[in-house]
Structure 1
Amino acid sequence: MDELNVEEKLKIVSGFLLESPPGEINDVYNGMLTFSSSSAYGILMGDDEEFDRGIKQALRQYNTEQYVTATLPGQETKVIVSKFGQIEEDLYLDPKSQQTFKFDHLLHTVTDVQPYTVDETTEHLRSTIETAISDYITDHYPDGVSTVYYTDGTYTVAIVDDKFNPQNLWNGKWRSTWVISPDSDELKGTIKVNVHYYEDGNVQLNSSKEIEITASASSEDPAERAAAYVKSINKAEEDYQSALNESYLDLSENTFKGLRRALPLTRHKIDWDKVLNYKIGQELATKATIE
């Protein structure tokens, strides 16, 4: 271990960071820092510039893949930090406010907010889709955030909703991405669900599904086309949620039951009241013997 070079250390540490459950990467990062100052794990954490750049790159990858959100000064709504809005290394676009901003992936802070000139020929449909998606998010996601981007002839809808409950030892995240081709009205979607439950154990759910659908957007009116896109997204996500619920209901009622006997070897159900009485009787008998 002492002979690991910087690249090998970075590969190990980056692996830990990139596999962090939703909402827990700071705990993982701080945990490794704690180990580095008090145990043999310290050999994994370097202090040179190359190692520091590698850590920042891993954090950048994690945050953009996990759709972390940021709030720009003077804005009420949040924007998703993703590769679809990435202009430079740490420079991102908020299409709604038409501003760029720098995002610190370690501190999650926003700086250097600047105005950005958008392409007016594509902005009308983009903003119309964003308005329709925002209404959908309000109706279906308690803490949801969405951002709509235009890149290379397509519109990309990014959706994220987090539910972090560390005091009860669980965290969860929903992410969905929809790439809309306006020429064919085709939508290519990816839905990802991650849940981590860690009370007296460590259980994780990692589910994903790729979907291809065609919206019924016959009208050239941007509002009607946006409504058709959102209607298709709504149905696809509801179908996925229903399928997920059904699979876990089947898991509870059938799969788990198959892992153990329905009855003990006697083929009779246990009378727990009698067991309790037996236990009390044994304790009284033991007490009488001692006295």
Structure 2
Amino acid sequence: MASTVELASSFIEGAPPGELADVVADVQALTEGEDIIPSLLPAFKRYNEAQLAAVKLPGSSQEVGFAREWSMSAVKLTFAGKVIVSGFNELEDNRYFDPESQISFEVDHTTQTASAAQSYALESDHADLIKSLLKSFGVHAREHYPNCSYGVYPIENDTVIAIVLVANRYSPNNFWNGRFRAIYQLPVSSSSSTLTGNIHVDVHYYEDGNVALNTTKPVNISIASVSAESIVSRIAAAERDYQEALNRAFVQTSEGVFKGLRRQLPITRQKVEWEKVGGYRLGQDISGGKGR
């Protein structure tokens, strides 16, 4: 039988977009009297890295934008936006790095907060390509995805470049939250390569019910020219095609499956006047029967 920690960890790792705090509160309520949260740190870490948690750096600007400035003399950091937490930019001891701002930072996975920012110099034989990708991919991300964060990282001993994007849209007042994640990997050992990865879309709608959309689209694109412009252009096309396919699927589902789940008209073939529902006599008016 699974232990309490194992069960609670599964709840944490399965938290819908934007609802981690709610899940944590439920776990605490279910385990009242136990200080279980410290035992769930590995689950928080796995969740944050898998979901590409975006954290605000200490001392960062409150303004919306993407300007970054690092001054070693004044030890002053100005950073607008958030940076990604993932397995691709992990260092050690819960530290991560951001190649665009050239800093590293520590993360509290339980609270999703960053601290202890330090200067970080990216060491890669492909630093120029990474910088170009950050510039081109940043333009693409900001143009198409509100509230997004992105990153480009050298991985696998500098033989592969990881390109990641996360965009969140939360609307708890309307009982829905959503997250878009794109994760790509590009080998850089030759002049022509194949970009592989996955696009993930997760949406949770929970007004008077509980409906979840969890999709994953594998991506496999041949890149003839390993240049930032070519790579980002192919990524943009793949994301556009998938989003158009999702839109078509939504329309078909709305007009097909969902309509089939409910009776269009009651047995009388007349629409129910809901404002008068209190006056109906169940078994007579609704069924069309006559009073005896």
Deviations 1:115-172 (A, max 9, x none): 2222253211101001000000111111121111111311111101001111111110
1:95 aligns with 2:99: yes
- What displacement does 1:110 show? 1.5
CA distance in 2, matches of 1:149, 1:29: 31
Answering whether residue 171 of structure 2 is matched by residue 165 of structure 1, we say yes
Q: Map 1:1-291; keep pairs closer than 5 Å.
A: 8-37=3-32, 46-47=34-35, 53-72=38-57, 73=59, 74-119=78-123, 121-152=125-156, 153-182=159-188, 183=190, 184-217=192-225, 225-261=227-263, 269-270=269-270
Q: 1:166 to 1:277 in 2, by over 3 A?
A: closer
The SS at the match of 2:207 is coil
- For residue 31 of structure 2, give the secondary structure of its aligned residue in structure 1: helix
Note if contact 2:124-2:154 (Cα within 8 Å) is conserved in structure 1: no
C-alpha distance in 2, partners of 1:27/1:256? 29
Cα distance in structure 1, aligned partners of 2:23 and 2:277: 49
Q: Distance in 1 between matches of 2:173 and 2:10?
A: 26
- Cα distance between partner residues in 1 of 2:178 and 2:137: 22
Equivalent position SS for 2:79? coil
Give the deviation of 1:54 after TM superposition.
3.3
For these two proteins, the number of residue pairs brought into alignment is 258
| 2:88 match: secondary structure | helix
| C-alpha displacement of 1:101 | 0.9
Structure 1 residue 180, shift from structure 2 partner:
1.3
- Partner secondary structure for residue 161 of structure 2: strand
Q: Which runs of 5+ in 2 are unaligned?
A: 60-77, 282-292
Alpha-carbon distance, 1:108 to partner: 2.0
Structure 1 residue 106, shift from structure 2 partner? 1.4
Gap change, CA 1:136 and 1:264, over 3 Å in 2: same
Cα deviation, residue 259, structure 1:
3.5
Larger proportion of helix = 1
TM-score of the aligned structures, taking structure 2 as reference length: 0.80
Q: TM-score, length-normalised on structure 1?
A: 0.81
Q: Give deviations 1:20-51, integer Å, cap 9, x for gaps.
A: 111111111112213333xxxx5xxx43xxx6
Equivalent position SS for 2:111: coil
**Alignment identity in percent?**
33
Structure 1 gap ranges (5+) = 219-224, 283-291
Amino acid in the other structure paired with 1:36: T
Mark the CA change 1:261 to 1:96 in structure 2 (over 3 Å): closer, same or farther.
same
**CA distance in structure 2 between the partners assigned to 1:117 and 1:136 by the alignment:** 25
Runs of 4+ in 1 over 4 A off after TM superposition: 260-266, 275-282
**Aligned Cα RMSD in Å?**
2.5
Give the Cα–Cα distance (whole angstroms) in 1 for the partners of residues 47 and 277 of structure 2.
Answer: 56
Summarize the Cα distance change of 1:256–1:138 in structure 2 as closer, same or farther, 3 Å threshold: same
| Secondary structure of the corresponding residue to residue 17 of structure 2 | coil
Aligned partner of residue 209 in structure 1, secondary structure: strand
The alpha-carbon distance between structure 1 residues 28 and 276, as it changes in their structure 2 partners (threshold 3 A), is closer
CA distance in 2, matches of 1:278, 1:88: 64
Distance in 2, Cα, partners of 1:131 & 1:82: 20
